[in-house]
């Protein structure tokens, strides 16, 4: 049974913990329900192998099919460019974290505040601390992580799942986000 | 009226009305500094109280808003708690999450400052006992006239002899007590006031570090602002293991110096190896270039477990608290030497050296506490010589066969990986090792920070850290590098030479790599960053564990960064100032630019000098592996001076960033000292405390954060060239904020004219002026314009 246990053992949060994404439909529903979502991709996405692809390939497909704006943190943009994707906005993870706590900030497109921030590919502990900042100081924002490790400070997170289950979930989310 | 010190009395009366008349601006000094002939006019804030610089702090905090990253949702500091502060709820005492986070940052900074200040107190007390209160302070000989820029700036005094430092320490201890009291339940309740006090803790920390280092440079004869300080050996393989080997660990160098002196007195220097880890090692090499540095603090377990040291001597700070247990495993006698680190050991300070040696050699005592550095020197040497032939260098490392057998017992539970700070893929490597391929686990040596949490977590009690180190034997056999010994202060003449180019921006920046070794991907990244910026003709400074990591790299010709670049404080230099406490010389150099180059008054004139540094000196601190509370305090000291600090991704665990908002134009106005007008200068420097996710992101940000409002067009063009070039190389594109850093068309680098002009057009860029920048209205008034 899936548990709400942090991937890094000692990173215990507090009373409010992420709801589990027990099936991919949950993630899809959140993405579809969001008026102004954003996908934030860290550098590990280009390092993590998921069968014959990298994690970034799945995220790119999700962004394109779900029409999600993308923020590339670290040096991830280089890997998007290698894949011919030039639309990512480059912004450090702590900067986007801070901007998201500002209810007045209208996003990289200047339209309106984001209501859903989807994180993936950041170092676990860094994503953990940034999600904690958002949990406490961005009350109007929902957060979701698509990593295969449980992030207690997100609004929604997978539990700690195997790579095989992760790939299946990502494929399913991508497939359904288009429908 | 204020009375500043219990040992010296300094009475200032601003205005006193009495029956016999009125007195204005009377100052009486009795005691330590009464004879001083320093004619520099005193600024407004000598020995500042914890709120004296609050307005300056507010100016910085108004631009750089804290972004809090709570490490825990709860407060558990009093019996009301635990209190759930989730979503900015208030706890039983009324505190909310923002204030609670900044309160924790203040606690950390107080711990860090207390550590440096008590270190300084111990050193000064020891030095006075040995050399007397009148022993002259001389950190730089004829090359350094401004001998203590931070003390002059903060305290408004000019220390000339050891005894003068006691008065400074009295002040620091007083401030520290007040700051710590602020964290009590029901004291401060506003997060920005907490933050201001964090800055204060950082400022007094810098003073404490300066006290410690100028005292030890003066009495121990360390290199005095010497750019040609000797190159010394570093690495596991530089040790002659045929000789008895002593290991010193920590930060407070007198016991190590007494070991060196004892060896010298007995003509045994060639017979015994003195090796060191962490800052004691760096400071010991400032005393004797025969001492060998093993590596940063993360080398403790791997070196002890190698079985090489015959005796282990620890002093204070950043020492693994289980070293006594590790020493026992290799049958190495253990000597603790600090009141702050007694480890439950019997106090043998009053016993004869020979009795102590006998008990250590016979293992009647596995370890002892000796609170007398001279006695430590004798006991350590005699014990090492006695036990070395008997120990046969017991080691805990494993053969390839043993590694494979151990790895076979792994049940793939992943608890090791889940306990690893860097999420290293230990289970996969263990699986491969179980099948006979130990290469993968050996490769982890470079990224392992030596914490051994993996071993603690393993239900099969597999000695994972040992396996990683043992599988990397070939690497440790080649671990032989050269580091320049810590040179201490920066010469006044060096400041005169570079002051202009720095303030005008023609030397693109000063980048200081400081702090601990909690790196996300190994220390090699520090060396790579140092080389990149030195090649780009920045002034690169190093200190502490980062200075060691910078050395642990060789180019194709086998040269380390310290052999490739000179130790001068000039463009393209790599300047190792020394141990943690030598960090004060980096801040001191920035302050001396204001004093020596710009002839600003230092004395008790903090706000004006910080404003000068902030607007003109393109310096950035980088603590890529920052781990400790001391690192928190060091960073805080840089912030108050207006110097941004970049940390690695683990730095987000410090619980808050101080980030500017480039998109808020209203945040980036300064006063023009010439006209009094408010002028938009762009987001320079954009952040004050920033955690980078990767080395690449850090490098781009460092280049960006070196920009200052005062840059001339030529200087700005140079700085922009580096920023844009790094951005293109590491991120693949021209930065989309480049227009924010162009004030006039002459700021545009000639080689980038076409690209940038197009961007300026697209962004609706408007030309502005280059002001004589200040955040302080009183600086405008000084020039007679409002």
pLDDT given for residue B645 in this prediction: 98
pLDDT band at A2 (very low <50, low <70, confident <90, very high): low
Mean pLDDT of B127-150: 95
β-pairing, A49-50 vs B510-513, is: unpaired
B693 and A93: CB-CB below 8 Å? Answer: yes
B731 and A133: CB-CB below 8 Å? Answer: no
Quick one: how far is CA A25 from the chain centroid? 16
pLDDT given for residue B7 in this prediction: 47
pLDDT tens, residue by residue, B740-766: 999 999 999 999 999 999 999 999 999
Residue B132: count other Cβ atoms within 10 Å of its Cβ: 11
pLDDT given for residue B64 in this prediction: 98
Q: Give the HSE-up count for residue B769: Cα atoms under 13 Å, Cβ half-sphere.
A: 12
Residue B257: its H or E element: helix B254-265
B691 and A94: CB-CB below 8 Å? Answer: yes
pLDDT at B319 over 50: yes
Query: How wide is the angle at C-alpha B544 spanned by C-alphas B541 and B548, nearest 5°?
Result: 85
- Which residue in chain B is spatially nearest to A140 when comparing CA positions? B87
pLDDT tens, residue by residue, B642-671: 999 999 999 999 999 999 999 999 999 999
Q: Report the gap between the CA of A9 and the closest CA in chain B (Å).
A: 6
Give the rounded percent of residues in chain B with a pLDDT score beyond 70. Answer: 94
Question: Residues of A with CB below 8 A from B653's CB?
Answer: 125, 129
A75 and B697: CB-CB below 8 Å? Answer: yes
pLDDT given for residue B129 in this prediction: 97
Greater confidence, B168 or B474? B168
Question: How far apart, in whole angstroms, are the C-alpha atoms of residue A98 and residue A137?
Answer: 9
Tokens linked to B548: 């060691």
Q: Are B532 and B312 within 8 A, CB to CB?
A: no
DSSP code, position B250? S
Question: Residues of A with CB below 8 A from B457's CB?
Answer: 9
pLDDT at B19 over 80: no
pLDDT band at B397 (very low <50, low <70, confident <90, very high): confident
CA distances from residue B645 to B279, B296, B623, B695, B709 in whole angstroms, order as listed: 21, 21, 7, 14, 18
Question: Which of B628, B524, B532 is CA-nearest to residue B583?
Answer: B628
Average pLDDT over all residues of chain A: 96
pLDDT given for residue B2 in this prediction: 42
pLDDT given for residue B395 in this prediction: 73
Q: Report the gap between the CA of A97 and the closest CA in chain B (Å).
A: 8
Query: How wide is the angle at C-alpha B196 spanned by C-alphas B190 and B199, nearest 5°?
Result: 145
Residue A126 has its nearest CB partner, among B419, B652, B730, at: B652
Mean pLDDT of B20-38: 57
Q: Which fold has domain A35-178?
A: Rossmann fold (3.40.50)
pLDDT given for residue B784 in this prediction: 55
Average pLDDT over all residues of chain B: 94
CA distances from residue B123 to A175, B280, B445, B492, B576 in whole angstroms, order as listed: 67, 13, 36, 26, 21
pLDDT band at B631 (very low <50, low <70, confident <90, very high): very high
Question: How far apart, in whole angstroms, are the C-alpha atoms of residue B221 and residue B217?
Answer: 5
β-pairing, B21-30 vs B9-18, is: antiparallel
A14 and B73: CB-CB below 8 Å? Answer: yes
pLDDT given for residue A36 in this prediction: 97
- Which residue in chain B is spatially nearest to A101 when comparing CA positions? B67
Q: Which fold has domain B51-220?
A: Helicase, Ruva Protein; domain 3 (1.10.8)
Mean pLDDT of B358-362: 98
A137 and B68: CB-CB below 8 Å? Answer: yes
Q: Which fold has domain B236-391?
A: Rossmann fold (3.40.50)
Tokens linked to B310: 């015959």
Listed in sequence order, the DSSP H helices in A85-162 are 93-100, 124-137
Q: Report the gap between the CA of A142 and the closest CA in chain B (Å).
A: 13
pLDDT band at B487 (very low <50, low <70, confident <90, very high): very high
Q: Are B113 and B212 within 8 A, CB to CB?
A: no
pLDDT tens, residue by residue, A80-95: 999 999 999 999 999 9
Q: Do domains B51-220 and B481-778 have the same CATH topology?
A: no
Least confident of A71-75, A162-166, B27-31: B27-31
Q: Report the gap between the CA of A104 and the closest CA in chain B (Å).
A: 11
pLDDT at B16 over 70: no
A123 and B69: CB-CB below 8 Å? Answer: no
Residue indicated by tokens 């590694």: B403
Q: Give the HSE-up count for residue B733: Cα atoms under 13 Å, Cβ half-sphere.
A: 22
Mean pLDDT of B717-728: 98
Residue by residue, DSSP assigns B262-292 as: HHHHTT-TTTSEEEEESHHHHHHHHH-TTSE
pLDDT given for residue A134 in this prediction: 98
Question: Residues of A with CB below 8 A from B730's CB?
Answer: 75, 78
Domain extent listing, chain B: 51-220, 236-391, 400-462, 481-778
Question: How far apart, in whole angstroms, are the C-alpha atoms of residue B173 and residue B160?
Answer: 20
pLDDT tens, residue by residue, B413-438: 999 999 999 999 999 999 999 999 99
Question: Residues of B with CB below 8 A from A94's CB?
Answer: 67, 652, 657, 659, 690-691
Tokens linked to B459: 């239900």
Domain extent listing, chain A: 35-178
pLDDT at B164 over 50: yes
pLDDT band at B15 (very low <50, low <70, confident <90, very high): low
pLDDT tens, residue by residue, B63-81: 999 999 999 999 999 999 9
A92 and B97: CB-CB below 8 Å? Answer: no
pLDDT tens, residue by residue, B274-310: 999 999 999 999 999 999 999 999 999 999 999 999 9
pLDDT band at A3 (very low <50, low <70, confident <90, very high): confident
Mean pLDDT of B574-603: 97
Question: Which of B460, B457, B473 is CA-nearest to residue B434?
Answer: B460
pLDDT at B37 over 70: yes
SS3 B243: coil
Mutate to test the interface with B, among A10, A80, A126 (most CBs of B within 10 A): A126
pLDDT band at B163 (very low <50, low <70, confident <90, very high): very high
pLDDT given for residue B3 in this prediction: 39
Quick one: how far is CA B65 from the chain centroid? 23
Q: Report the gap between the CA of B730 and the closest CA in chain A (Å).
A: 6
pLDDT given for residue B391 in this prediction: 78
Q: Report the gap between the CA of B547 and the closest CA in chain A (Å).
A: 25
Residue by residue, DSSP assigns B656-713 as: EEEE--TT-GGG-EEEETTT--EEE--SSS-EEEEE-SSHHHHHHHHHHHT--TT--H
Question: Residues of A with CB below 8 A from B415's CB?
Answer: 9
Tokens linked to B380: 């350590």
pLDDT given for residue A135 in this prediction: 97
pLDDT given for residue B197 in this prediction: 98
Greater confidence, B706 or B10? B706
* Chains A & B: contacts with CB separation below 8 Å: 123
- Which residue in chain A is spatially nearest to B650 when comparing CA positions? A126
Q: Report the gap between the CA of A65 and the closest CA in chain B (Å).
A: 24
Burial of B372 (0-12, 13-18, 19+ CB in 10 A): middle
A8 and B418: CB-CB below 8 Å? Answer: yes
A129 and B696: CB-CB below 8 Å? Answer: no
A94 and B650: CB-CB below 8 Å? Answer: no
B735 and A90: CB-CB below 8 Å? Answer: yes
B732 and A77: CB-CB below 8 Å? Answer: yes
Question: Residues of B with CB below 8 A from A123's CB?
Answer: 423, 520, 649, 693
A38: left (phi over 0), alpha (psi -120 to 50) or beta: beta
SS3 B29: strand
CATH class as words, domain B481-778: alpha beta
Question: How far apart, in whole angstroms, are the C-alpha atoms of residue A115 and residue A142?
Answer: 6
pLDDT given for residue B18 in this prediction: 60
Peptide bond into B82 cis (omega under 30): yes
Mutate to test the interface with A, among B63, B65, B69, B427 (most CBs of A within 10 A): B69
pLDDT given for residue B750 in this prediction: 94
pLDDT band at B475 (very low <50, low <70, confident <90, very high): confident
């Amino acid at each position: 049974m899936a548990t709400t246990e942090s991937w890094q053992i000692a990173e215990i949060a507090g009373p409010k913990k992420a709801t589990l994404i027990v099936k991919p439909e949950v993630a899809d529903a959140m993405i579809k329900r969001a008026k102004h979502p954003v996908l934030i991709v860290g550098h590990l996405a280009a390092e993590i192998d998921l069968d014959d692809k990298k994690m970034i390939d799945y995220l790119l497909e999700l962004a394109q099919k779900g029409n999600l704006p993308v923020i590339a943190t670290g040096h991830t943009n280089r890997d998007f460019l290698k894949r011919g994707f030039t639309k990512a906005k480059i912004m450090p993870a702590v900067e986007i974290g801070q901007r998201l706590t500002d209810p007045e900030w209208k996003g990289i497109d200047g339209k309106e505040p984001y209501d859903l921030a989807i994180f993936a590919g950041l170092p676990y502990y860094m994503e953990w601390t940034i999600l904690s900042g958002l949990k406490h100081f961005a009350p109007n924002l929902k957060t979701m992580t698509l990593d295969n490790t449980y992030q207690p400070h997100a609004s929604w997170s997978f539990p700690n799942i195997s790579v095989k289950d992760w790939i299946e979930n990502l494929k399913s989310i991508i497939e359904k986000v288009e429908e | 009226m204020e009375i500043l010190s219990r040992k010296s009395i300094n009475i200032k009366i601003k205005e006193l009305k009495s029956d016999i008349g009125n007195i204005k601006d009377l100052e009486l000094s009795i005691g330590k500094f009464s004879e001083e002939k320093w004619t520099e006019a005193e600024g407004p804030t000598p020995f500042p109280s914890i709120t004296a610089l609050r307005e300056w702090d507010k100016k910085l905090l108004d631009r750089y808003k804290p972004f809090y990253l709570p490490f825990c949702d709860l407060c558990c500091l009093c019996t009301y708690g635990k209190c759930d502060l989730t979503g900015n709820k208030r706890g039983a005492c009324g505190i909310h999450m923002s204030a609670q986070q900044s309160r924790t940052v203040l606690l950390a900074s107080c711990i860090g400052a207390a550590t440096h200040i008590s270190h300084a107190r111990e050193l000064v007390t020891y030095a006075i006992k040995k050399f007397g209160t009148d022993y002259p302070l001389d950190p730089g000989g004829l090359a350094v006239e401004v001998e203590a820029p931070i003390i002059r700036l903060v305290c408004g005094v000019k220390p000339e002899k050891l005894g003068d430092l006691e008065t400074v320490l009295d002040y620091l201890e007083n401030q520290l007590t007040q700051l710590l009291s602020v964290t009590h339940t029901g004291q401060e309740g506003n997060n920005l006031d907490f933050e201001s006090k964090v800055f204060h803790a950082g400022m007094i920390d810098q003073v404490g570090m300066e006290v410690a280092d100028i005292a030890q440079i003066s009495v121990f004869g360390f290199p005095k602002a010497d750019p040609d300080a000797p190159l010394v050996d570093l690495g596991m393989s530089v040790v002659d293991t045929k000789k008895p080997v002593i290991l010193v660990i920590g930060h407070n160098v007198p016991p190590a110096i007494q070991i060196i002196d004892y060896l010298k007195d007995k003509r045994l220097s060639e017979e015994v190896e003195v090796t060191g880890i962490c800052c004691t090692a760096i400071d010991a090499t400032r005393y004797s270039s025969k001492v060998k540095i093993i590596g940063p603090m993360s080398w403790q377990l791997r070196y002890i477990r190698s079985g090489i040291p015959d005796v282990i001597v620890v002093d204070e700070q950043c020492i693994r608290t289980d070293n006594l247990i590790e020493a026992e495993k290799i049958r190495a006698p253990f000597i603790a030497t600090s009141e702050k680190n007694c480890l439950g050991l019997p106090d043998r300070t009053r016993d004869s050296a020979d009795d102590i040696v006998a008990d250590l050699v016979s293992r009647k005592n596995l370890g002892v506490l000796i609170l007398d550095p001279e006695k430590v020197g004798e006991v350590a040497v005699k014990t090492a010589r006695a036990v070395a032939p008997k120990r046969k260098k017991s080691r805990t490392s494993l053969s390839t066969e043993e590694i494979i057998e151990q790895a076979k017992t792994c049940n793939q539970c992943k608890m090791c990986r889940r306990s690893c700070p860097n999420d290293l893929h230990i289970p996969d490597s263990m699986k491969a090792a179980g099948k006979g391929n130990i290469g993968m686990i050996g490769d982890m040596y470079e990224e392992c920070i030596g914490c051994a949490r993996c071993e603690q977590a393993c239900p099969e009690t597999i000695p994972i850290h040992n396996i990683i180190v043992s599988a990397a034997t070939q690497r440790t056999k080649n671990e032989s590098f050269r580091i320049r010994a810590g040179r201490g202060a920066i010469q006044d003449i060096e400041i005169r030479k570079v002051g202009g180019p720095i303030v005008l921006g023609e030397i693109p920046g000063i980048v200081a790599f400081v702090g601990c070794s909690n790196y996300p991907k190994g220390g090699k990244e520090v060396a790579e960053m140092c080389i990149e910026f030195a090649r780009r003709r920045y002034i690169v400074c190093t200190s502490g564990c980062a200075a060691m990591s910078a050395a642990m790299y060789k180019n194709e010709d086998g040269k380390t960064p310290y052999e490739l670049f000179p130790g001068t404080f000039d463009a393209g230099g790599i300047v190792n100032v020394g141990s943690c406490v030598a960090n004060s010389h980096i801040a001191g150099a920035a302050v001396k630019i204001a004093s020596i180059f710009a002839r600003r008054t230092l004395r008790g004139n903090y706000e004006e000098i910080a404003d000068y540094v902030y607007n003109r000196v393109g310096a950035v601190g980088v603590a890529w592996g920052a781990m400790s509370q001391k690192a928190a305090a060091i960073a805080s000291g840089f912030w108050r001076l207006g110097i941004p600090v970049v940390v690695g991704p683990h730095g987000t665990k410090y619980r808050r960033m101080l980030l500017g908002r480039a998109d808020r134009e209203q945040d980036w106005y300064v006063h023009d000292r010439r006209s009094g007008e408010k002028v938009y200068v762009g987001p320079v420097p954009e952040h004050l405390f920033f955690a980078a996710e990767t080395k690449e992101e850090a490098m781009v940000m460092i280049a960006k954060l070196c920009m200052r409002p005062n840059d001339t067009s030529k200087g700005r063009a140079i700085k922009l060239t580096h920023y844009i070039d790094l951005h293109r190389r590491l991120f693949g594109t021209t930065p989309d904020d480049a227009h924010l850093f162009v004030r006039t068309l002459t700021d545009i680098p000639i080689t980038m004219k076409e690209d940038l002009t197009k961007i300026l057009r697209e962004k609706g860029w408007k030309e502005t002026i280059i002001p004589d920048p200040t955040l302080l209205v009183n600086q405008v008034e000084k020039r007679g314009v409002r």
